[in-house]
Amino acid sequence: MRHLVAWLPAFRLERCGHGADTLAALIDEVKGATRIVASTPAAAGCGLVPGVTASEARGRVPDVVLVPLDAAAERQDRTALLRALEALSDRVSFGWEDAVVAEISATSAVFGGERATAEQALALLASFGHEARVAVADDPLGALAVATTSDAPLRILSPGAPLGEVPLGALRPSPSLAEAFAVVGLRTCAALAGLDAASVVGRYGADGARLRRVARGERVGLGVATDLTTPDAVRVSTPLPGATTRGELMFVLPGLLGLLCRRLADHDRAVVRLRVVLVLDGGSRRIVSVRVGRPTRSVPRLERAIRTRIDTLIADPGGDAPPVPIDELRLEVEESAPETGWQPGLTERAEHREPLPDLLSRLGDQLGEGAVFRPVLVDRWRPETCWRREAFPAPALVTRPPAPLDDPVVAQESREQALPVPRPSLLLPRPERLEVETDGHGPARVRLPVSTAGREGPAWEGVRRRAGPERLFGEWWAPGALEREYWAVDLGGRTAWIFRDPGGWSLHGWFD
Amino acid sequence: MGAAPDLAALRARIRALEGCVAVQRRRVASGVEGVDHLLGGLPRPGIVELAGPVGSGRTRTALAVAARHTRRGEDVAWVDPGSLLYPPGAAAHGVALDHLLVVRPVEDGSAPWAWATEQLVRSGNFPLVVLDLPPVRGVRRALAHGFARAAEHGGCTLLVLGSRSMRELPADVRLSTGEGRLVLVRDRGRDPALFARSGAPLASAPLDADPFGGSS
């Protein structure tokens, strides 16, 4: 397996418009003071390194530009960069805060080889305004070490090649491990690679052994293709060759969610919004975004939230086509929040009111967008189609000038619309056939459909009062033209809305 | 015998320990003559049950209450798992549709309507939430008590429409419709002792006008 790593030493400042040569630093509140959290190489050369307070930085370099950290914007930029690099590989992530990892084993051939792929990556990053150094190697950490220590912007390490004289510090050992290496004079990867495996494990533990394997050119890897430093970009995936059913997806979902939650737990984060991606046979994707009401790492809660949306993912948007085989199920964290836990309390402590847009978004995510709406009336005669669904809340009202009433057509329509026509409060999703006896003027006895009759079953009921007919005609150009005669009939305390068309009588609603 | 007062005292003590303020219940004029005549307004926060067979006028009553709220510029949520609410009919009853949020969950076996109702009630964005239960559905006791807690939390009135009275629902007020009248069955706010009794209606009032305009 081959990995391309793009090292972006000044990413956090470059995205703010400050190149590597400018004296600029990123500041944020850390340990009760405003401190530098990142700086350009030029600023770092002047001693403006992470941890230095803002006032101290201004004292040392009066001309330094201090930029407040905008974490949300930075996350967005990282995501945008990953999306762009997905043009080169479908497995891209920020493996480290300053480096992007792309697994290119399967895709490099498409772009003309590893070198051509790396050149394209460089060009792509340059188009975003980032100076990068790119390396390709078997192991991502090995590639990062080569990228950070090489003078050339691009370097390819052949498969299985050891890192050689690359400094050990480039493998980013922990401070204690770095000190332990230094004590015995280990400074290069070649020196570490030459040691006996057993003695490395005994002296430096699992971390030391892992770095030794990387130094020897062996692949250790990052495990699941995830971004381990920016939790909002964590994603996990599993192959599902040929799966077509909901059951197959639900079978693997808990395990995959568990893996995702463990990754998030490493960062003490919880899911706010999750994207479920089905990669279908042929490469197309179906995507749905799921938002949970409260940040959570609970697998059952996440599973519950996803379960309702899986059907919409599997269903063929076109209609009756057979299901397309699924190649892969992927879960991506779109938004995360610090995990603060939740103590419900014995009496439900009051919480802040949830903003309406958030509430609507959650309801839409959970129930489907079409399930949450504001009804709007439409100027049509057919009762079923004289309203439509719009987003809630309504946009700000715009005052329209009144229509001129001297136009006879407008005046007539206005009079018609003002007529007090009875409309039921409940309308059946579909009219249901029923039996009606008339007395020459209108309905006299009614036998309701089985679905709406009482326990005793359908029986003839006398009409106590009636109002009608209201005749609706139209849509003569379409099949199933509208040709109905509506009546409101009182069936002893219950008032039904029924109509007669060429096919017979139907129950359409209730004046409930 | 003394279990109920002890429990109330214990709850009050817990609330005091947790720094909670006791929920202030009040009656808010519904604008519907029959309802206000019987109840002196809707309890807020609180749950009102409105039971009656389909076609008996329960939806008409709920729409009249919703109309009053929406005309004041307040948003009303209507949970409609049966997909039966007819917006032109609601508009004909005076509801300002711009202020009406309709939620139509598709049943998948997990009672999404209950979840949606609790979220809407709890959010505090809607002073009135209407839940129109289809005839075959009831409310499980745990869900019903979740509604009560959510209503307290959101300071909201939940109006539950059903074809029959639901014992599981901890309603502050129980109303029923039938024969063109609105009947007050129980009102916990007025006389707690009545809550323990079963039976006779307390009072009734005529429903608003029907589609016949009073003519035969």
Provide DSSP, A147-188.
HHH-SSSEEEPPTT---TT-BGGGG---HHHHHHHHHTT--B
Report the pLDDT value the prediction gives residue A404, as an integer from 0 to 100: 58
User: What does the buried/exposed string (b/e) look like for B42-53 if buried means 16 or more CB atoms within 10 Å of the residue's CB?
Assistant: bbbbbbbbbbbb
Rounded to 5°, the CA angle A440-A452-B62 comes to 100
Interface of A with B in 479-508 (CB under 8 A): 488, 490-491, 493-496
User: Can you tell me the distance from the alpha carbon of B136 to that of A342, in angstroms, rounded to the nearest whole number?
Assistant: 35
* Cβ under 8 Å to A: B residues 139-178: 149, 152-154, 178
Q: What gap in Å lies between CA A126 and CA A317, rounded to an integer?
A: 39
CA distance A298 to A342: 12
B90 lies within 8 A of chain A by CB: yes
Q: Are strands A65-68 and B181-187 parallel, antiparallel or unpaired?
A: unpaired
Distance CA A62, CA A65 (A): 9
Could you say which residues of chain B have pLDDT below 70? 1-5, 15-24, 135-138, 189-216
The secondary structure of residue B83, as a DSSP letter, is: -
Chain B residues whose CB is inside 8 A of the A380 CB are none
Q: Cβ A490–B120 below 8 Å, yes or no? A: no
Mutate: best of B74, B101, B179, partner A, most A CBs <10 A: B101
Question: What is the Cα–Cα distance from A4 to A155, expressed in whole angstroms?
Answer: 10
Among the partner residues A375, A386, A428, nearest to B100 by beta-carbon distance: A375
Say if residues A386 and A378 touch (Cβ distance below 8 Å).
yes
Which residue in A has a C-alpha nearest to residue B12's C-alpha?
A347
Structure tokens that stand for B78 in this block: 């209507």
Minimal Cβ distance to B83: which of A368, A397, A429: A429
Chain A residues touching residue B56 (CB < 8 angstroms): 493-494, 512
Chain B CB contacts of A399 under 8 Å are none
Short-list A475, A476, A477, A495, CA closest to A486: A495
Residue whose C-alpha is closest to residue B165's, from B152, B150, B151, B184: B184
Write the CB contacts of A94 (distance below 8 Å, at least 6 apart in sequence).
A78, A82, A100, A101, A227, A229, A230, A233
Q: Write the DSSP string, A477-489.
A: TSSS-EEEEEEEE
Using the Cβ of A423 and the Cβ atoms of chain B, whether some distance falls under 8 Å is answered with: yes
Q: Which chain A residues contact residue B122 at CB under 8 A?
A: 354
Alpha helices in chain B, H assignment, sequence order: 3-17, 33-39, 58-71, 87-92, 112-123, 141-154, 192-196
CB-CB: which of B102, B106, B125 is closest to A373? B102
Distance from CA of A238 to the nearest CA of B (A): 26
Count chain A–chain B contacts defined by CB atoms under 8 A.
175
Q: Examine residue A323 and say whether the peptide bond preceding it is cis (omega within 30 degrees of 0).
A: no
CA distance to A27, A73, A129, per residue, from A70 (Å): 10, 5, 18
pLDDT value for B129: 96
Which residues have CB under 8 Å from A71's CB, separation 6+?
A28
Distance CA A75, CA A37 (A): 15
* Binding-face residues of A in 355-384 toward B, CB within 8 A: 356, 359-360, 362-363, 366-368, 370-377, 383
- B206 CB near a chain A CB, below 8 Å? no
Question: How many angstroms away from the CA of B96 is the closest CA of chain A?
Answer: 10
Strand partners, B32: none
CB of B53 within 8 Å of a chain A CB? The answer is: yes
Chain A residue with minimum CA distance to B92: A423
Q: How far apart are CA A256 and CA A237, in angstroms?
A: 7
Q: Tell if the CB–CB gap between A351 and B153 is shorter than 8 Å.
A: yes
A338 preceded by a cis bond (ω within 30 of 0): no
B2 touching A (Cβ < 8 Å): no
CA distance B57 to B41: 19
How many whole angstroms separate alpha carbon A445 and alpha carbon A466?
11
Give me the residue from B105, B180, B215 closest to A371, CB to CB.
Answer: B105
Q: Are A475 and A382 in contact (CB under 8 A)?
A: yes
The reported pLDDT for the residue numbered A229 is: 42
Nearest-neighbour CA in chain B from A275: distance (Å): 21
Residues 55-94 of A with CB under 8 A from B: none
The whole-angstrom distance between B5's CA and the closest CA on chain A is: 17
A334-370 as b/e: b if 16+ CB within 10 A = bbbeebeeeeeeebeebeeebebeebbbbbbbbbbee
Which residues of chain B make contact with A495, given a CB cutoff of 8 A? 55, 210-212
Chain A interface mutation, best of B21, B79, B123, B130, highest count of A Cβ atoms under 10 Å: B123
Nearest to A81, CA basis, from A92, A90, A72, A91: A92
Instruction: Output the pLDDT for position A226.
Output: 39
Q: Are strands A504-510 and B100-103 parallel, antiparallel or unpaired?
A: unpaired
* Closest Cβ–Cβ partner in A360, A386, A464 for B88: A386
Q: How far apart are CA B116 and CA A304, in angstroms?
A: 14
Residue A270: its pLDDT value, please? 85
A386 CB neighbours in chain B (<8 A) are 88
Chain B residue with minimum CA distance to A493: B179
Report which DSSP code applies to B127: S
The pair of structure tokens assigned to A446 is 């009614």
Q: In this complex, do A511 and B60 lie within 8 Å of one another by their Cβ atoms?
A: yes
Residue A287 CB coordination number (10 Å)? 12
CA-nearest of A211, A215, A212, A208 to A164 is A215
CA neighbor of A121 nearest in space, from A142, A92, A151: A92
pLDDT value, residue A317: 52
Measured CA to CA in angstroms, residue B23 lies from A251, B17, B18, B142, B168 at distances of 45, 15, 14, 21, 22
- Give the Cα separation of B21 and B153 in Å (integer): 11
8 Å CB contact of A512 and B55: yes
Q: Which of B59, B91, B123 sits opposite A359 (nearest CB)?
A: B123
How many Å lie between the alpha carbon of B175 and the closest alpha carbon of chain A?
Answer: 15
Is residue A489 within 8 Å of A498, Cβ to Cβ? yes
CA distance B67 to B57: 15
Interface contact flag, A371 B103, Cβ < 8 Å:
yes
The answer to whether A26 and A39 have CB atoms below 8 angstroms apart is yes
* Chain CA centroid to CA B70, Å: 16
Integer Cα distance of A132 and B129 in angstroms: 56
Per-residue pLDDT tens digits of chain A, which is 512 residues long: 788 999 988 888 888 888 878 888 999 887 778 899 888 888 888 888 888 898 888 888 888 889 888 888 888 888 888 888 888 887 788 778 788 888 888 788 888 889 999 999 999 888 888 888 999 998 888 999 999 998 888 999 988 889 988 998 898 888 888 888 888 888 899 999 888 877 787 788 777 888 888 898 887 754 333 343 455 567 787 777 667 777 778 888 888 898 888 888 877 788 888 888 888 877 788 888 887 766 788 888 788 778 767 776 776 555 455 567 777 888 988 888 777 655 444 444 444 467 787 788 778 877 877 899 999 998 888 888 889 998 888 765 544 555 556 677 777 777 766 666 778 899 998 899 888 998 888 898 998 887 766 556 677 888 888 887 888 888 777 777 888 999 999 887 788 899 998 888 999 998 88
- Six-digit token string for B110: 């997990």
Strand partners of residue B128 = B76, B157
* Interchain CB contact of B91 with A (< 8 Å): yes
Helix, strand, coil share (%) of chain B residues, nearest 5:
35, 25, 40
Tell me the ipTM for this assembly. Answer: 0.83
| Distances A343 to A108, A348, B123 between C-alpha atoms, Å | 50, 9, 18
8 Å CB contact of B119 and A293: yes
Residue A445: its H or E element:
strand A443-447
A353 in contact with B at a CB cutoff of 8 Å?
yes
